[in-house]
């Protein structure tokens, strides 16, 4: 299992040319570059810096584009379209094979040059796939709790689960020569380029892995190619990065970046205003006006390719009947949440999809209508007697999470649903399989411009919901495989429409609340532009100009 393929934009069959390399500056000169401290709600959830283990919004923020890089990158200064990354060009060999030319002269943080050997290893059994097989849609059970780290290099089960979620049919990656690789799939796949640019398909140093004493040692200080390298990682406290001055994209503009966990919004804002922090993330919309009353500060950001969801465990006795889950979906006044908690700065989307899907976007789809009378009728048909339904919640992991939960509970109670909030400390407690697992919060992103990147990746056979045992549906699983292997775009779109019907109407796996948005506060004197993502770009050209 050493060969993989990356996918940028669908249908990107033609080779794409590379971008220029910025001139390097002598590192012997006096280093007068600034350092910044960034207040975040959370650094990582898994307490590691492995992109396959930390598949999260908070991980995206600290990983991209500071630490990890992929062969095909995203334009974080544009609309997240595909651009050359560690590969300068790529082309389709056939429906199952993509060939890429590697950027020459790329240096890892340990000084080694990146070659095809590192790419092949990054997609190997040892690093990604373990004993899993391509073309197997068997759900890999994982994620119910963060396992105790093992000695040696044995992969945690969730790493293998994520790898097969990303690359269900990857057979191998071949090194054609020192700077050329081929990703070979077991099945036709129109999304290989997109998979190559998605979160997790990033390149690591083979020697860095081999020299680490254990998986955990490596995962807390991986050797990568990004413009910044790890100085110190204190789980649950902070992550400090310093400039990688041999970076292929030019000398980084910052000397150091320090991400500090500051869970409370008020503390992040106060630290920003006092000068303790140079940037403060996850600012709720109702705090923006107060910050910007001070003419020296501004708040940047907006909607991103991520939706907030409420997720169901249909194994819970009160949720086994899909009519009850449907009642949940029709009891929600989504626009009221957008207006009251988000000051209209986001929107209610057309289900779990985004317009950037292009011709795969289902334009006439919509989220379930706000219809309290229908919700009450559904509960009556289901014979629901008012038994309690637990709602597991983290304390504002998501912006406005607690306030949103309180509003949702009131809406559900108004139609007769007896929903009770249970506040948890971490994701392990949220996902733990137990009689109290019923309803929880989540968010889903689109890693590239096809529904395979969202509905299939998050709710299909090896999506998180099925891997933790919350939900499954045989027809949706069959359609997932079709969507991943068919090259007939019209038939794929029809299959996607049917999948939305199943997952959002007939047998609800989740219900979409609203499109997510993220806001970052900073002094106006700092010249930096927010990306249309959780990621924060501190490369040359996006800081200090």
Three-state secondary structure of 188-234: CCCCHHHHHHCCCCECCCHHHHHHCCCHHHHHCCCCCCCCEEEEEEE
Q: What is the CA radius of gyration of the chain?
A: 23
The predicted-structure confidence for 141-194, as pLDDT tens digits, reads as follows 875 455 555 678 999 989 999 999 999 999 999 999 999 999 999 999 999 999
CA distances from 296 to 265, 279, 291, 292, 526 (A): 19, 13, 9, 8, 10
**pLDDT (mean) for 434-459:** 96
pLDDT above 50 (res 26): no
Is residue 38 left, alpha or beta, with left meaning phi > 0 and alpha meaning psi from -120 to 50? beta
Degrees (nearest 5) of the Cα angle 258, 262, 268? Answer: 95
> How confident is the model at residue 148, as a pLDDT?
58
Confidence of residue 544 (pLDDT cuts 50, 70, 90): confident
> How confident is the model at residue 6, as a pLDDT?
34
How far does CA 503 lie from the centroid of its chain? 20
Confidence of residue 340 (pLDDT cuts 50, 70, 90): very high
pLDDT above 50 (res 4): no
Confidence of residue 13 (pLDDT cuts 50, 70, 90): very low
Phi/psi at 330 (5° precision)? -85, -10
pLDDT above 50 (res 17): no
DSSP state at residue 4: -
Alpha carbons 110 and 107: distance in angstroms, whole number: 8
pLDDT above 60 (res 384): yes
The pTM for the full model equals: 0.91
User: Cβ neighbours of residue 94 under 8 Å, at least 6 residues apart?
Assistant: none
For residues 487 and 95, the answer to whether their CB atoms sit within 8 Å is: yes
The predicted-structure confidence for 77-113, as pLDDT tens digits, reads as follows 999 999 999 999 999 999 999 999 999 999 999 999 9
How many residues does this entry show for the chain?
A: 545
């Amino acid at each position: 299992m050493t060969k993989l393929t990356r996918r940028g934009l669908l249908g990107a069959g033609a080779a794409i040319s590379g971008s220029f390399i910025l001139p390097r500056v002598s590192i012997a000169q006096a280093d007068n570059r600034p350092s910044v401290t960034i207040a975040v709600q959370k650094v990582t959830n898994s307490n590691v810096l492995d992109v396959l283990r930390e598949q999260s919004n908070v991980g995206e923020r600290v990983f991209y584009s500071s630490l990890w890089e992929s062969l095909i990158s995203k334009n974080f200064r544009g609309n997240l379209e595909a651009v050359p990354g560690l590969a300068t060009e790529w082309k389709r060999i056939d429906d199952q094979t993509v060939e890429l030319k590697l950027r020459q002269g790329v240096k890892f943080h340990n000084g080694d040059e990146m070659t095809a050997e590192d790419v092949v290893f990054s997609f190997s059994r040892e690093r990604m796939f373990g004993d899993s097989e391509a073309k197997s849609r068997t759900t890999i059970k994982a994620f119910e709790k963060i396992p105790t780290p093992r000695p040696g290099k044995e992969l945690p089960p969730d790493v293998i689960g994520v790898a097969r979620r990303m690359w269900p049919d990857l057979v191998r990656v071949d090194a054609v020569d020192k700077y050329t690789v081929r990703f070979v799939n077991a099945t036709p796949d129109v999304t290989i380029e997109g998979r190559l640019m998605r979160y997790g398909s990033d390149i690591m140093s083979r020697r860095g892995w081999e020299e680490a004493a254990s998986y955990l040692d490596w995962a807390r200080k991986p050797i990568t190619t990004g413009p910044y390298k790890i100085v110190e990682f204190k789980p649950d406290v902070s992550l400090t990065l310093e400039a990688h001055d041999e970076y292929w994209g030019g000398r980084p503009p910052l000397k150091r970046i320090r991400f500090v966990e500051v869970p409370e919004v008020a503390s992040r804002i106060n630290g920003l205003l006092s000068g303790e922090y140079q940037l403060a993330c996850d600012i709720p919309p109702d705090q923006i006006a107060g910050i910007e009353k001070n003419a020296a500060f501004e708040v940047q950001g907006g909607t991103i390719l991520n939706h907030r969801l409420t997720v169901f465990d249909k194994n819970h006795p009160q949720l086994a009947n899909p009519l009850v889950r449907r009642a949940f979906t029709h009891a929600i006044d989504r626009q009221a949440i957008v207006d009251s908690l988000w000051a209209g700065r986001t929107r209610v989307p057309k289900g779990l999809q985004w317009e950037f899907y292009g011709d795969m976007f289902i334009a006439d789809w919509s989220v379930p209508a706000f219809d309290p009378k229908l919700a009450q009728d559904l509960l009556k048909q289901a014979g629901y007697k008012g038994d309690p339904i637990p709602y597991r919640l983290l304390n504002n992991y998501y912006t406005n999470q607690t306030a949103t939960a309180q509003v949702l509970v009131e809406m559900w109670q108004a139609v007769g649903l007896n929903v009770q909030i249970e506040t948890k400390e971490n994701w392990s407690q949220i996902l733990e399989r137990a009689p109290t697992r019923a309803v929880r919060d989540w968010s889903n992103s689109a890693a590239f411009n096809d529904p395979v990147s969202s509905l299939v990746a998050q709710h299909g056979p090896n999506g998180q919901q099925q891997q933790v045992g919350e939900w499954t549906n045989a027809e949706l699983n069959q359609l997932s495989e079709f969507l991943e292997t068919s090259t007939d775009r019209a038939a794929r779109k029809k299959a996607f429409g049917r999948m939305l019907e199943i997952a959002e109407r007939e047998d609800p796996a989740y219900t979409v609340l609203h499109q997510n948005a993220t806001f970052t506060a900073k002094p106006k004197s700092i010249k930096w532009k927010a990306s249309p993502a959780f990621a924060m770009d501190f490369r040359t050209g996006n800081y200090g100009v």
